[in-house]
Amino acid sequence: MDAYESSFVSETPQSEEEMDVRKGPWTEEEDFTLKAYVNLHGEGRWNSVARLSGLKRTGKSCRLRWLNYLRPEVRRGNISLQEQLLILQLHYRWGNRWSKIAQQLPGRTDNEIKNYWRTRVQKEAKQLKCDVNSKDFRDAMRCVWIPRLIERICASSESPSGQPSTTAYGNITTSQISYEDTSGSVQVDSSVLPELSGTSSDVSNYPCSLQTRSGSRSEYLWNIDGGESMESVWNEENIWFLRQQLYDDDLN
DNA sequence: AAAAACGTCAACCGCTAAAAG
DNA sequence: TCTTTTAGCGGTTGACGTTTT
């Protein structure tokens, strides 16, 4: 124990085995105690925090509670369309690097993003009877889900006159899609997107219809949080198209 | 109205890497 | 240099609320 710690000790600290360590949900009193302690002494040295604050919790538990719940920066509630888009894009690029992904979404925790992925995205993969890490699922995400989200974001940002707004989400181009949310500017990497055929004004028309092998166009009603089924996306012709598109991308 | 199934999310666990002693 | 401690990460669990049967 150093001078820093000894200045807060009021009685002989007990080891974790000796004291009955509390588990499970935190009470309001515990939250208040932890908050007060961290506000006074700062973050870090969580084992000391647990011991010196009088909380019968492990250091790990204190750290987790602070980071995921008590920190003032923590933003809770529904994950916006923009955030969903960013999560999909970043997961496409980085995989299950939750902490890294969370760093790109101010106020969101890795736990929250992980939960989002498990409950929403993996559920869809399960419905499709495919692995969430499979190429088919990634292809569908890249070619259908992400464009669909972009479309919805564009639609929600349109002005009453029906013209796409350039103020809410910024200019949209085929090479780079950017938007802003309350936390600042976010850019969407076009490398995860299929090539768009038109100019910025065409984006709102971008396929959720995709051309199939037979040349016809297939309309999709696939929507990340709209409760619509992805079943219509997952048929032989469309998978063929998605594969072709990816193959073309690889050649370029 | 009750039971079962499902969805969400906070919290725990085990492991690893980095830092400290 | 080696050992111990600490912080952080990703996977998993389980409690609880909601929806469906």
Q: For chain A, what are the domain ranges?
A: 3-70, 81-251
pLDDT above 60 for A8: no
Nearest to A115 by CA among A130, A128, A134, A96: A96
pLDDT higher than threshold 80 for residue A27: yes
The per-residue pLDDT for A205 is: 31
**pLDDT band of A179, cuts 50, 70, 90:** very low
Nucleotide at minimal C1' distance from the A100 CA: C9
C-alpha–C-alpha distance, residues A144 and A126, integer Å: 17
Judged by C1' against the alpha carbon of A46, the nearest nucleotide is: C6
Query: Which CATH homologous superfamily contains domain A3-70?
Result: Homeodomain-like (1.10.10.60)
**Distance between CA atoms of A19 and A14, rounded to whole angstroms?**
6
Please, what is the average pLDDT of chain A?
64
- Could you tell me the distance in Å between the CA of residue A108 and the C1' of nucleotide C12? 20
pLDDT in tens, A34-77: 988 888 888 878 888 888 888 888 888 998 999 889 988 888 87
Distance A98 CA to C6 C1' (A): 21
**A241, A211 Cβ separation under 8 angstroms:** yes
Q: Which nucleotide is nearest to A50 (CA to C1')?
A: C6
Confidence of residue A5 (pLDDT cuts 50, 70, 90): very low
Number of helices (H), then strands (E), belonging to chain A: the values are 11, 4
- Using alpha carbons, list the distances in angstroms from residue A150 to A89, A115, A128, A131, A204: 11, 22, 22, 24, 8
